[in-house]
Structure 1
Amino acid sequence: MLKKILNFQTRTVNKAVLFVSIATFLGYGLAVLRDNLLANFLNNSQADVYWAAFRIPDFVYGLLITGGVVAAFLPVFSHSFQNSQASARRLFNNVFTVFGLSLVILSVLLAIGAPLIVKVIAPGFSLPQKTQTVALVRIMFFSPIALGISAIFSSVLQYFNFFVAFSLAPLFYNLGIIIGLLFFFPKIGLLGLAWGVVLGAGLHLLIQVPPLLKMGFSPRLLIDFRSSELRKIFKLMTPRVFGSAAYQLNLVILTAIASTLAVGSIKIFNLSNNLYGVPASLIGVPFAAVIFPILSRYAAAGNKDKFFSAISPVLRKVVLFGAPVSCLMFILRAQIVRILYGTQLASSGYFGWRETRLTAAALGIFSLSIFAACLIPLLARAFYALHDTKTPVKIAVWSVILNLFLAWLLVELLRSHQAIANFLSFAFKLKGIDNLSILALPIALSFSTIVQFFWLSYSLQRKINVSYKSLFNRSFVAKILLACLIMSVGAYIFLRIGAAFLIINTVLGIFLQAFLTALFSAAVYLATCWLIGVKEPIFLIKELLIFLKKKLYGKL
């Protein structure tokens, strides 16, 4: 049964997006459970150590794989497979071997240099914290090796529309971390949590092996630096690696800044940032993952008309979902944080009222740029499909520079100008909390994300020679903004009404308040879209109903 599920092959974009979104949603359900346990099992000092240690191997994975191979491999593989299946298999084995060995060598070298790296990434840590961080980093360096190989497998599965195993992999990754937290951590402390990360990475890899073998891609050791296709991947990934390095360094420097603030600041930043990433992962990433191989095929064939016809409606769908989620997450920020992190599943309960309020405020600030975060993966993949990695990299680098400058500036302003702190305290109901410097990080990150989105949109418009109106359809965007405004007003009023009739000092009361407000808001949004002539929601609902009907009768 499990093998049949993993080997399921989708045939349409919307169906593939549905599978990816459902699996991603389930994965984030486990991620929420993971973060709740982390927030409540670990005290502020332990949590800061874990998140700082996690950042270093994640940097390696993001630099070489997410930032390099994933962006460059699929377009080249797509072109190779169209010419010869044997050539595509040889390319796969070559990439598997070369980049797998590169990850092993780099991980070993960085594990040896971990003490120096920790001094840079966490300058505000005490000596015991730094010692613990080094120990965790050395264990966690097994994870980028497994995740890197897994990412190469994922690219092949995406090309053949095997999205189920690819989508379930993050779910098993989070499951491994939870196992480490529940079973290893009580016995050997933070080291057990680090081994849980390694277990999760191993499961992430293994879940993708069955469908890969079904397609006839059994990994073989092969090193051929003379391969023109491998050289092309290196050429395509080089600028992207610089862009990814900028992004990863961005997170490293933000972590370093947070380590100099109040104890628990790294914890607050990461928990709110994880929630911020959920909409992009549920909306932007599935569409980007599914449309990428299609765009790569059209780009390889030199068909810009079909390329535009494929990406334009997908952009509108992302706006359709991303914009209201951005608004609703801002309105429900306190309820979301109280339900997901304030509910003490652990007996210790280290996530208190101060952490709840600051995390909710950070999430509220992050939510202002959710629409942009949802669209950036799709816009970036469009450039990658066109074999242009330089443009999104250049934009990403400048966005990171802007973010880091703003983060440094805002931290200093919040420390020296009480008026700014008072404004944030009033806007996000933080009266009684003295140190608000951590909020500088989400403000800077949100602003730079919005700038990055507009810059990417403008550049893609020029790249494929279509008007901005054709790419995003200003009339459509204006209607969506109107629907979001009406929905937001209705949501705020409904939220106040719920507070009057529900007991909101209990988990059930808070959940009902948030759930009913979200349902009401969705109804208002869909009704408004229908009234002002936005037809996409109706078409999507009809397609979903048809899909479910076929599934019910076993005719898929």
Structure 2
Amino acid sequence: MSTKKIISGAILLGLSSLLSRLLGVYRDHLFGVMFGTEGIGVNDIGVYHTAFRIPDLLYTLLIYGAISSAFIPLFTEYVANKKEKEGWQFCQNVLNILLLLLIFIVLIVFIFAPFLIKPFALGFTGERYDLMISLTRIMLLSPIFFGISSIFQGIQNTFKNFIFYSIAPIIYNLSIICGALFFAKNYGVYALAFSVSVGAFLHMMVQLPQVIKLGFRYKFCLDFKAKDIKRFFHLIVPRIIGLSVDQLSLIINFSIATTLSYGATVVLPYAINLQSLPLGLFGIAFAIASFSTFAELASRKEFEEVAQTLKTSISHILFLVVPASVGLFIIRFDLIHFIFGGGEFRDSDVILTGNTLAFLLIGLSFQALIPLLARVFYSFQDTKTPVFIGFFAILVNLISVFIFTKILTMDVIGVAFAISLSSVFNALGLFIFVKRKLNLRNFLPLLNIFKILLASILMGIFLFFLYPFIKEVIVFHSENLNQIINLSFSIVFGIIIYFICGFICKIPEIFLLINKVKKMLNDKSF
């Protein structure tokens, strides 16, 4: 039953993530066409991307880590043990503590922004630096709204209610798109910064009715001495330390990008966003959907069930992510040209973004498993082990990025390669410690992984030779129509080829889908 809930939740989250990320792609398309990679003054999109890192850092450190590693397991424990009244008191206490902490830190960053943002922008001076200060201050409201919103998401996750949880990111992206379409022409990147804060507010508000329906009522209470608040902070401190190390890596990566070619601060986030399409659709969706199940099983000490659930989830994620990585690699240049080409985004920018994306794809399958594996530790209320592994993964990243960019002069491609190597190291470390520390055995679907790799490679070979043929045969007068048809046919053919290869290789997920379709047809309903 738990596996069915995970799959259902992952499908809902995956579909909503698909829509949200497609909107994100359209958002980046607007940015590319409107600002290119070398805009100046209020049209300097590279400064916007760099400034965005600071409020994102605050959210990641203070909220994301706390919710994923501590709030959900503890709140789930209350609900699982039929102690919802105490659970809501715990929820209110956590919300108020985090909110006050966020407001205090945001005020500090707002006041001292000219001094605090320097590590994020080693290559920015003069007008670019002043612009970054202004954009950072505008976007500092977003972590506060996201903080409240994340508590709401944690509540819905515990009750396995993912509908409004899924809608919120869509609303957020729509806000930024509206800002770009209606206000960027006159106000440049300032319009985008304001849209980020407005979008964060809407991200919070769209979830409020649902959490009220689930039983949430706001009450101001602060009790730092409460037993579970002590447990909460005991769990989040190692997680915050670990995320600090992760974020340090991001800061250094993006800060180094500001010292490379002028468009590096634009190309890198665009490539990361494209790589994040399959990552968010499959890897993160399954990790989020499975977390509450892991927490329930861990609280009942059902270790064999945890191992089996983990094994199934790994297989499902790789079944989707590995072929997506191969397909994305083959069509990357045409896809990037379709999304960003035209306007201020030049052909040389397309090539650089495509090459950067290629090196990010090396580590995508490993990166997709990291959120899932980390949540296994969190479900056992162990936040220290992922931190320990993450610390060494960041060392790999830092050493690699220095070698690739400063010694081998690989420019922004070197940053992408370093990110991939770090992801590989992190995932392998988590695999090893899941087996050793938690004593979980037989959680790796080795035979399935081999079958998935084989089917993906065969699909890649077929698509590599088929894609140029499709481009030659299907020709229309409109370049945009050509690109849409060619990419669509290639994706459809790629999926068909993968499914045929998967059927021949007897990948379990293929037969799971076939049985699901048969059942849907027999029931005549979805």
TM-score bucket (shorter structure): over 0.9
Runs of 4+ displaced beyond 4 Å: 547-550
Matched, 1:29 2:22: yes
Which position in structure 2 is the counterpart of 1:155?
154
Give the CA deviation at 1:466: 3.7
In structure 2, relative to structure 1, the CA distance for the partners of 1:37 and 1:477 (3 Å cut) is: same
Give the CA deviation at 1:74: 0.6
Which position in structure 1 is the counterpart of 2:74?
76
In structure 2, relative to structure 1, the CA distance for the partners of 1:401 and 1:213 (3 Å cut) is: same
Task: Tell me the secondary structure at the aligned position of residue 332 of structure 1.
Answer: helix
Distance 2:79 2:261 in 1: 53
Which position in structure 2 is the counterpart of 1:254?
253
Equivalences for residues 300-379 of structure 1 within 5 A: 300-342=299-341, 344=342, 349-379=343-373
Which of 357, 362, 375 is equivalent to 1:381?
375
Matched, 1:515 2:488: yes
Matched, 1:105 2:104: yes
Q: TM-score, normalised by structure 1?
A: 0.90
In structure 2, relative to structure 1, the CA distance for the partners of 1:341 and 1:78 (3 Å cut) is: same
Instruction: Read off the aligned partner of 1:500 and give its amino acid letter.
Output: E
- Residue deviations 1:171-203 (CA, integer Å, cap 9, x gap): 111111112212232333322221100111011
Instruction: Read off the aligned partner of 1:271 and give its amino acid letter.
Output: Y
Instruction: Read off the aligned partner of 2:119 and give its amino acid letter.
Output: V
Equivalences for residues 534-545 of structure 1 within 5 A: 534-543=507-516
- Residue deviations 1:384-443 (CA, integer Å, cap 9, x gap): 11111111111112111211211111112333xxxxxxxxxxxxxxxxxxxx51111001
Distance 1:335 1:134 in 2: 36
Conserved 8 A contact 2:326-2:456: yes
Distance 2:434 2:168 in 1: 31
Which position in structure 2 is the counterpart of 1:445?
419
Which position in structure 2 is the counterpart of 1:42?
35
Which position in structure 2 is the counterpart of 1:405?
399
Matched, 1:393 2:387: yes
Which position in structure 2 is the counterpart of 1:16?
9
Equivalences for residues 457-476 of structure 1 within 5 A: 457-467=431-441, 470-476=442-448
Q: TM-score, normalised by structure 2?
A: 0.95
Give the CA deviation at 1:70: 2.7
Give the CA deviation at 1:520: 1.4
Which position in structure 2 is the counterpart of 1:55?
53
Distance 1:445 1:307 in 2: 29
Equivalences for residues 269-288 of structure 1 within 5 A: 269-288=268-287
In structure 2, relative to structure 1, the CA distance for the partners of 1:155 and 1:549 (3 Å cut) is: farther
Distance 1:72 1:168 in 2: 24
Distance 1:28 1:174 in 2: 8
- Residue deviations 1:502-536 (CA, integer Å, cap 9, x gap): 34992222222222122112111111111122222
Which position in structure 2 is the counterpart of 1:173?
172
Conserved 8 A contact 1:243-1:393: yes
Which position in structure 1 is the counterpart of 2:408?
414
Conserved 8 A contact 1:13-1:290: yes
Task: Tell me the secondary structure at the aligned position of residue 12 of structure 1.
Answer: helix
Q: Which moved more, 1:537-546 or 1:209-218?
A: 537-546
Give the CA deviation at 1:144: 0.5
Instruction: Read off the aligned partner of 2:430 and give its amino acid letter.
Output: L
Give the CA deviation at 1:14: 1.8
Task: Tell me the secondary structure at the aligned position of residue 472 of structure 1.
Answer: coil
Tell me the number of residue pairs that the alignment of Structure 1 and Structure 2 aligns: 517
Give the CA deviation at 1:463: 3.0
Distance 1:199 1:541 in 2: 43
Give the CA deviation at 1:11: 7.7
Conserved 8 A contact 1:298-1:306: yes
- Root-mean-square deviation (CA), in Å? 1.8
Distance 2:57 2:413 in 1: 23
Distance 1:484 1:59 in 2: 35
Which of 526, 545, 550 is equivalent to 2:499?
526
Identical pairs, percent? 29
Task: Tell me the secondary structure at the aligned position of residue 261 of structure 2.
Answer: coil
Conserved 8 A contact 1:70-1:152: no
- Residue deviations 1:359-395 (CA, integer Å, cap 9, x gap): 0111111112111121111111111111111111111
Give the CA deviation at 1:169: 0.9
Give the CA deviation at 1:68: 2.6
Conserved 8 A contact 1:96-1:221: no
Task: Tell me the secondary structure at the aligned position of residue 73 of structure 2.
Answer: helix
Distance 2:497 2:178 in 1: 41
